[in-house]
């Protein structure tokens, strides 16, 4: 078994600033892995490199959706990366505000559909069938995430927690093998965080999607993830199980000390 996602010496420089510094990372099929670190440590930049938003300045990224054949995906465009089965959410919510909740999810389905301009104008049988299917599929995802009551609302009118969940629903609609969540619990209340916790476990179990999670909420990280990677100033400073990380002196010094003991 090769890891479904692996980075080797991944590096990203912004001018003189090295935001991601030689990170070696891997996640296996079916795992929930957390990436933690203080603000500005380079976590989001790491996501952006993997998903093609930035072209990394050094190192390699490999994916192996089927668990056997590795493929290098450095510098591919974000939409190609998504087609290959990596889907993400954004730390600062980036929903399509003036589209309905259902339409947001339908956009997620886009890369799995094929209707073209002629099909749309002529409303061919195939196009109509596809359109009906995309509505049904999207609705099913909303059911799963518990957003059906908002289906025809504009995304911008949703409560905050629901917007975060819609980001996840939209990402799931792309049929990923790996879901990358960037601080999904940010701004959520404890109740919402608990629901998110259950949702993440549910997604992994029912959809067979592996999950990579950036998170600040330590209780969430500790309860759902099997493995944790810790970054600080762009460097990987520790990796291991939640218990190992809790005890790691370097991590405590860099990060956990302030957060959990407070």
Partner 1 sequence: MSNLVKYFSLKEIKKSLVITLWFMVLTFPIMVIKVNTIENTVIWRWGYLAIIAIGSFILSTLWRYMMERKSLQAGKESKISLQQKLREMGEKNPRLKRGALAAVVVLVVAYPFATSMYQTGIMTTALMYVVLGLGLNIVVGLGGLLHLGYAAFYAVGAYTYALLHVHFGIGFWVSLPIGAGLATILGILLAIPVLRLRGDYLAIVTLGFGEIVRIILENWNDFSYGPSGIANIPRPTLFGIHFKLQQATIFIYFIMVALVVFTIFIVRRLENSRMGRTWIAMREDEIASQSMGIDITKTKVTTFAIGAFWAGMIGVVFAAKTTFINPASFTLWESIIILCIVVIGGMGSIFGVVVGAGILILLPEYLRAFSQYRMLLFGAILVLMMVFRPGGIVTNVRKVYRIDKEKTGEAE
Ligand X SMILES: Nc1ncnc2c1ncn2[C@@H]1O[C@H](COP(=O)(O)OP(=O)(O)O)[C@@H](O)[C@H]1O
Q: What is the DSSP letter of 29?
A: T
CB of 206 to ligand X, least distance (A): 29
CB of 262 to partner 1, least distance (A): 34
**Residue 44 binds ligand X, judged by CB under 6 A:** yes
**Residue 192 binds partner 1, judged by CB under 8 A:** no
Q: What are the CA-CA distances from residue 241 to residues 34, 43, 226, 233 (Å)?
A: 10, 19, 6, 21
Separation of alpha carbons 157 and 150, rounded Å: 9
CB of 44 to Mg ion, least distance (A): 3
- Among residues 10, 50, 142, 158, which is the contact residue for partner 1, using CB under 8 A? 142
Are 131 and 140 spatial neighbours (Cβ–Cβ below 8 Å)? no
- Residue 39 interface partner, choices ligand X, partner 1, Mg ion, none, CB cut-off 5-8 Å depending on type: ligand X
Cα-Cα-Cα-Cα torsion 79, 15, 230, 176, nearest 10 degrees, comes to 0
Q: What are the CA-CA distances from residue 2 to residues 6, 92, 206 (Å)?
A: 9, 32, 22
Residues that bind partner 1 (CB under 8 A): 51, 53, 77-79, 82-83, 87-88, 90, 94-100, 102-103, 106-108, 110-113, 115-117, 119-121, 123, 127, 130-131, 134-136, 139, 142-149, 151-152, 154, 157, 170-171, 174
């Amino acid at each position: 078994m090769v890891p479904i996602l692996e980075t080797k010496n991944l590096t990203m420089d912004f001018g003189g600033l090295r935001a991601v510094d030689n990170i070696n990372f891997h996640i296996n099929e079916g795992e929930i892995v957390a990436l933690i670190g203080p603000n500005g440590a380079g976590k989001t930049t790491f996501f952006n490199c993997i998903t093609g938003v930035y072209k990394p300045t050094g190192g390699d990224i490999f994916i192996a959706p089927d668990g056997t054949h590795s493929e290098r995906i450095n510098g591919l465009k974000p939409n190609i990366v998504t087609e290959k089965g990596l889907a993400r959410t954004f730390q600062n919510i980036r929903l399509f505000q003036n589209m309905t909740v259902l339409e947001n999810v339908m956009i997620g389905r886009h890369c799995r559909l094929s209707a073209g301009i002629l099909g749309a104008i002529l409303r061919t049988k195939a196009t109509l069938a596809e359109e009906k299917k995309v509505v049904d599929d999207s609705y099913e995802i909303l059911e799963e995430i518990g957003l059906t009551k908002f289906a025809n609302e504009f995304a911008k009118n949703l409560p905050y927690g629901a917007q975060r969940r819609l980001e996840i629903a939209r990402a799931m609609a792309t049929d990923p093998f790996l879901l990358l969540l960037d601080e999904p619990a940010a701004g959520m209340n404890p109740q919402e965080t608990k629901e998110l916790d259950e949702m993440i476990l549910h997604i992994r179990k029912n959809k067979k999607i592996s999950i990579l999670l950036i998170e600040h909420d330590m209780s969430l990280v500790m309860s759902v993830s099997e493995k944790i990677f810790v970054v600080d100033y762009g460097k990987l400073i520790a990796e291991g199980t939640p218990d190992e990380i809790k005890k790691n002196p370097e991590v405590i010094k860099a990060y956990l000390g302030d957060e959990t003991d407070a």
